[in-house]
Amino acid sequence: MARTRFAADHGLTRRMLLTMFLIGLLYVVFVGVLIAAFGQAWPLILVLAGGLFFVQFWFSDRIAAYSMGAREVTPEQAPELHGAVDRLCALADMPKPRVAIADTDVPNAFATGRSQKKSLVCATTGLLRRLEKDELEGVLAHELSHVAHRDVAVMTVAAFLGVLAGLITRIALWGGLSRGGRNNNNLVFLLIPLVSAVVYVISFLLTRLLSRYRELSADRTGALLTGRPSALASALTKVSGQMGRIPTRDLRQAEPFNAFYFAPALSGDGMSRLFSSHPTLEQRLDGLAKLSRQLGQP
């Protein structure tokens, strides 16, 4: 974690290191299987895997901003949003990220970027319209905590393997690489989708486990920075309550980016919670209530 006034979370650090180790091991095994399966086509496999990783990691902030419809805004265009970010960055003693707004009624926010200097914090128009000043600062402190802890970069790298596995599966099924491989193409067609599916499931579960913990960590450290856990709890309650009033079509469009959002656009019940990118609202509110009691607040 870079030096800021955000409280360190050693539990998050250990989980990020473990996730990166397991993802890296899985990545090496996956590429090894692809090289063995495609034989003479292995240079193309390495170039494809390396190129995709470089693009996703180096340009993660731009890709995320473009995918979620975010546009950077100046202090003149969004003075209140920039003012809140300025205050929090001064309080946290960290570089100010780029600031963006996404034109959607879905009340949410996200942070992205491979480092503090390359980070971007975005709020939606739906969020800005619904939250009070202290609630907005609570949400932004949560997002800046992700940047300070660098878990945004870890999530970007961790998510890459699942993307690669899906892409390789499509290429293999289309026969784009199998022509340069061994003669037993039937075995390749059976092996690649199977290995890719296993890799995708494992990487998916690892990123979901890390994602749920990092959200609780950002709730805690963001609330500690502002000293107002109740404001963040109020924002969480308000955002979650308003989600039910958003058209399902808009929520479906936002759902693929749940892992990066402040609150999930759609959340399930029962077994689906095991695969959720966020802890439940009750868990998050309970954590903030405990923190309020520790700080001696009503």
Return binding residues for Zn(2+).
142, 146, 215
72 strand-pairing partners? 100
Give the residue ranges of the annotated binding site: 142, 146, 215
In this structure, the number of other CB atoms found within 10 A of the CB of residue 17 comes to 11
Whole-angstrom Cα distance, residue 238 to residue 148? 25
Tell me, yes or no, if 137 is annotated catalytic. no
Contacts of residue 8, Cβ cutoff 8 Å, sequence gap at least 6? 1
E-strand spans in the chain? 70-72, 98-102, 109-112, 120-124
Whole-angstrom Cα distance, residue 33 to residue 208? 25
Length of the chain as a residue count: 298
121 strand-pairing partners? 99, 111
CA 82, chain centre distance (Å):
22
Whole-angstrom Cα distance, residue 167 to residue 55? 14
From the list 72, 132, 137, 143, the catalytic residue is 143
Helices and strands, number each (H, E), in the chain: 11, 4
Residues catalogued as catalytic: 143
